[in-house]
């Protein structure tokens, strides 16, 4: 049975995250992994004229693309974060929209060359509902690329996650974790022509790696 998300409660959670994660002195930056300067960069998107980031967070990656002439739009659930990113990156041309990702993809008909997520909405949204919608919003030959932590062995599917520790107000969400081969199957079922999922090792032995997934629409 799919996890039952409480959107109002999750909005409060991500507003709280926005208050701590957003840095006024941040600079545009694009990195798929949790380790600065490690792994591939935006070249995984190909050469898009347009890109949509789902769960765009602090907006640094989107600003990076926009500064390079790409029509760049981001969707995020947190109104606090969207206000901050809209102000911070106003000069780059990046656009930020406050919306729940499934609603946004269902209700808007724009199509993109690339849709991506960096530890963002793909990690926190039921892929059975999300991936077919992403496929519909991609142009022919468009790509989806996303990254997130790899699944903990034996812990697959929706995983509950508290935010802010285990004391105080109960704020939680669900994240979706699968083995790379399962991600490839989910993308194939959603109509993607090719799908490649792998785990990129961390720069230091024994540290947490990064799940990196890329798929191409027909």
pLDDT tens digits, residue range 34-77? 999 999 999 999 999 999 999 999 999 999 999 999 999 999 99
Handedness of CA 69, 70, 71, 73 (dihedral sign): negative
What are the beta bridge partners of residue 172?
Answer: 162
Tell me whether residue 2 is in a domain: no
Give residue 176's domain range. Answer: 7-216
Phi, psi dihedrals of residue 10, rounded to the nearest 5°: -70, -35
Say if CB 26 and CB 90 are below 8 A apart: no
Does 22 score more than 90 pLDDT?
Answer: no
Number of domains in the chain: 1
Read off the CATH number of the domain in which 20 is found.
Answer: 3.40.50.150
Round to whole Å and give the CA distance between 117 and 76: 11
Helix, strand, coil proportions of the chain in percent (round to 5)? 30, 25, 40
Distances 14 to 18, 33, 79, 171, 214 between C-alpha atoms, Å: 6, 20, 9, 9, 26
Tell me whether residue 73 is in a domain: yes
Residue 129: Cβ-neighbour burial (10 angstroms; 0-12, 13-18, 19+)? middle
Does 198 score more than 90 pLDDT?
Answer: yes
**Tokens 């799919």, residue located:** 2
Average the pLDDT over 191-210 and give the result.
97
pTM (2 decimals)? Answer: 0.91
Kindly state the tokens that stand for 76: 């995020």
DSSP 202: P
Tell me whether residue 116 is in a domain: yes
Tell me whether residue 1 is in a domain: no
Tell me whether residue 205 is in a domain: yes
Phi, psi dihedrals of residue 73, rounded to the nearest 5°: -125, 140
Does 1 score more than 80 pLDDT?
Answer: no
How many other CB atoms sit within 10 Å of the CB of residue 176? 22
Say if CB 135 and CB 114 are below 8 A apart: no
pLDDT tens digits, residue range 126-169? 999 999 999 999 999 999 999 999 999 999 999 887 776 666 77
Local confidence band at 85 (pLDDT 50, 70, 90 cut-offs): very high
């Amino acid at each position: 049975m799919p996890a039952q998300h409480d959107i109002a409660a999750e909005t409060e959670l991500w507003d709280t995250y926005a208050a701590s994660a957003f840095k006024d002195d941040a600079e545009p930056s694009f990195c798929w992994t949790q380790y600065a300067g490690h792994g591939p960069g935006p070249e995984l998107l190909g050469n898009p004229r347009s890109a949509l980031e789902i769960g765009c967070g602090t907006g640094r990656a989107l600003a990076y693309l926009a500064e390079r002439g790409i029509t760049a739009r981001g969707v995020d659930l947190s109104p606090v974060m969207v206000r901050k990113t809209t102000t911070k990156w106003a000069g780059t041309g990046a656009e930020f929209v406050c919306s729940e990702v499934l609603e946004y993809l269902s209700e808007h008909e724009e199509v993109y060359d690339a849709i991506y997520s960096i530890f963002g909405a793909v990690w926190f949204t039921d892929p059975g509902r999300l991936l077919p919608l992403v496929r519909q919003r991609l142009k022919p030959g468009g790509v989806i690329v996303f990254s997130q932590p790899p699944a903990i062995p034996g812990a697959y599917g929706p995983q509950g996650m508290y935010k802010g520790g285990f004391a105080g107000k109960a704020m939680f969400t669900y994240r979706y974790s699968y083995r790379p081969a399962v991600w490839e199957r989910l993308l194939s079922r959603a109509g993607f022509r090719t799908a490649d999922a792998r785990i990129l090792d961390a720069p230091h032995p024994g540290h947490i790696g990064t799940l990196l997934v890329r798929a191409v629409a027909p």
